[in-house]
Amino acid sequence: MECCRCIPRKLKIDGHGQAKILTPEEIEDLFSAQNSNERDRALYAVMLYTACRVSEAVQLRKRDVYDRKGRVRPELLFRKGTTKGKLATRCVPIIEDLRRRLVEYQPREDNLYLFPGYIYGNRCDTYLHQDSAQWILKKACNRIGIEGVSSHSFRRTALTQMSNAGIPLRIIQEISGHRTLDELYKYLEVKEDQVRGAVASLSILSPPNKESSVKSAFREDPNIHHSTPF
Q: For residue range 9-41, what is the model confidence (pLDDT) as tens digits? A: 455 545 556 889 999 999 999 999 999 999 999
Global pTM reads 0.76
Q: How confident is the model at residue 215 (pLDDT cuts 50, 70, 90)?
A: low
Give the integer Cα–Cα distance in Å for 21 and 152: 9
Alpha-carbon Rg for the chain, nearest whole angstrom, is 26
Residue 5 one-letter amino acid: R
Query: Considering the chain, what is the average pLDDT of its residues?
Result: 84
Q: How confident is the model at residue 200 (pLDDT cuts 50, 70, 90)?
A: confident
What are the residues whose beta carbons fall under 8 Å from the beta carbon of 46, sequence distance 6 or more?
52, 57, 60, 76, 98, 101, 102, 114
Higher pLDDT among residues 174 and 209, named by residue? 174
HEC string for 183-222: HHHCCCCCCHHHHHHHHHHHHHHCCCCHHHHHHHHHHHCC
Let me know how long the chain is: 230
Could you report the per-residue pLDDT of 130-174, keeping only the tens digit for each?
999 999 999 999 999 999 999 999 999 998 898 888 888 888 888
Domains delineated in the chain: 24-185 (1.10.443.10)
Q: How confident is the model at residue 176 (pLDDT cuts 50, 70, 90)?
A: confident
